Amino acid sequence: MQLIPRKVFFVKGVGRHRDELHSFELALRDAGIERFNLVPVSSILPPGCEIVPPEEGLKELRPGQIVFCVMARNSSEEPGRRVAAAMGCARPLDPEGYGYLAEHDAFGESAEEASEYAEDLAVAMLASALGVPNDEAHREKMRTLSVAQSAVVEPGGFTTVIAAAVFVL
């Protein structure tokens, strides 16, 4: 049996709680993926894997299901500190080619900055795999997207942010 994802969707979330694990759970809930047994995998987007809206992908998953994902996660309890998590995606225009997912977490970055970094990282990884320079001319031959969550830590507990690419088999 081959486990090759047919679909992928992208989510982000933020959670705050005095306990770090609970803040992570709340970030998963904010993203809509708290009810699954999440298994982290590495960074390949299979050929032909359709990118769908979260609402569509979630309809195919059941509570307690083992679900594969690529996830960026960051957490802090330092008040005033900004935490960010982002997921970037780059895939070739050729639907028969595979793409890359790149997770990025950082301190002090806005969602926009983290998103741009994660997308650039995915592009660099795909360019390397294709054996082409990582430049604008080759970037135009790729489809890219990214999702990111950033938040400022509030006093009294942890703030956790996540960004994830969630696979549907």
Provide the pLDDT for residue 140: 87
CATH number of 20-168: 3.50.20.10
pLDDT (tens digit, 9 = 90+) per residue, 5-37? 999 999 999 999 999 999 999 999 999 999 999
> Could you tell me the residue ranges of all domains in the chain?
20-168
Provide the pLDDT for residue 82: 98
Provide the pLDDT for residue 10: 98
Residue with tokens 């090759």: 4
Tokens of 106: 């950082």
Provide the pLDDT for residue 138: 86
b/e 20-56 (16+ beta carbons within 10 angstroms → b) = beebbebbbebbbbbebebeeeebebeeebebbebee
pLDDT (tens digit, 9 = 90+) per residue, 39-58? 999 999 999 999 999 999 99
pTM score: 0.96
